[in-house]
Chain A
Amino acid sequence: MTNHDEKLGQLLKSLPRERAQEDFTGRVMERLEMRRPPVFSPFKIALVSAAAVVVAATMLSTVSHIQQKAEQNHLKQELKSVKAQYRKIARQIEELKNQPPRDPVIYVGGDDRADYVLDVSKLHIRLTGRETPQAMPNRPEVIDLEPTYPSAGVIQASYQGGAI
């Protein structure tokens, strides 16, 4: 061993030792308390589980109740709508019943732009025979059909023989 070896050995051995502070252990225990994972007893686990079940059941029940209520509301609305429709139809039927009878209109043709109808009330019928075609359908008579005045959508017609 050289002189330097001896000196180094002595120096290393005589190096003053650092000591931990007085409250070192206390601080370790404090840190341990802060970091320690919570320990659950079986009772706590059971309590938490029961609470979770209750919460889940309540939530399910609430959701189910809300769904039922929504469905009921929907059905009520539909019923209301059907009733309203029924009343409307009844009113329309009543109106139709009370309406004076209309003169018939005969559709005689048309295209995309216009329909051609024959307004019977506007026709001036002059029978040339002694009997009407309805009275004697098998005996055609010559009749003249002339409108009182020509108008849009009404054609001038001239009918000879047979029923319209």
Chain B
Amino acid sequence: LALWRTKAKAAVTLETDSDLMERTRLGDHQAFAMIVDSHKHGLTNYLTRLLGSRPKAEDMAQETFLKLYLHADRYQSNGKLTGYIFRIATNLAISEHRKARRRSLFKTLFLSNADIGTTAEASAQSSLLVSEAHQKLAEAIALLPFHYRAPILLHEIEGMPYEAISETLGCREGTVKSRISRGRKRLKKQLAAYFDGDGS
């Protein structure tokens, strides 16, 4: 029964999202504002963890919604809107990552190992990471390579199924599983000292 209820809820959400997108496509700002309202927290959370910076995440989340509005006609109603929004956001993040790498700036969007300590500190001060465990985890996530970080965040934190992640990231389900597994291994390795020490 619980499973059925979940599916029914998902179907209603899908329908609602499709309707809202249809209205958005026709230029209905109210419908678009409703979409933004219902997805803004999840997207901000994902991008904050992905980019390691709250201000950049907010800016990119807004940019994501703008892209969604401007290219609303590209959305296919049979797909789930959340996955579609996260795909736009991930593509923006990848694009920014590449630009930053090309420019070879000292401060890149995805920080190098040398910089991560400082940023994780700043992130911990400005965010909700009150416990030491969460702070350590945030630092470890920020140290992950991008191709491990995105699927880990989508699966472990946003609770997306593998199939949706493979659609969002544009890779095969097997690749998603393997990347999540490797990402977890890296996280465990980085947090091993903490788990075996005081945090255990």
Contact = CB atoms under 8 A, between A and B. Distances in A.
A19 interface: yes
A32 B69 contact: yes
Nearest to A2: B188
Interface string B84-115: 00000000000000000000000000000000
29 contacts: A3-B195, A4-B195, A7-B199, A8-B184, A11-B134, A11-B191, A12-B137, A13-B156, A15-B49, A15-B138, A16-B127, A17-B157, A18-B41, A18-B44, A18-B49, A18-B54, A18-B57, A18-B128, A19-B45, A20-B44, A24-B36, A24-B40, A25-B33, A25-B40, A28-B36, A29-B32, A29-B36, A31-B66, A32-B69
Majority SS of interface residues in chain A? helix
A42 B144 CA distance: 54
Interface residues of B, number: 41
A4 B185 CA distance: 10
B61 A24 contact: yes
A14 B57 CA distance: 20
Interface of A: 3-5, 7-9, 11-21, 24-25, 27-29, 31-32, 35, 39
A3 B192 CA distance: 11
Interface of B: 27, 29, 32-33, 36-37, 40-41, 43-45, 48-49, 54, 57-58, 61-62, 65-66, 69-70, 127-130, 133-134, 137-138, 152, 156-157, 184, 187-188, 191-192, 195, 199-200
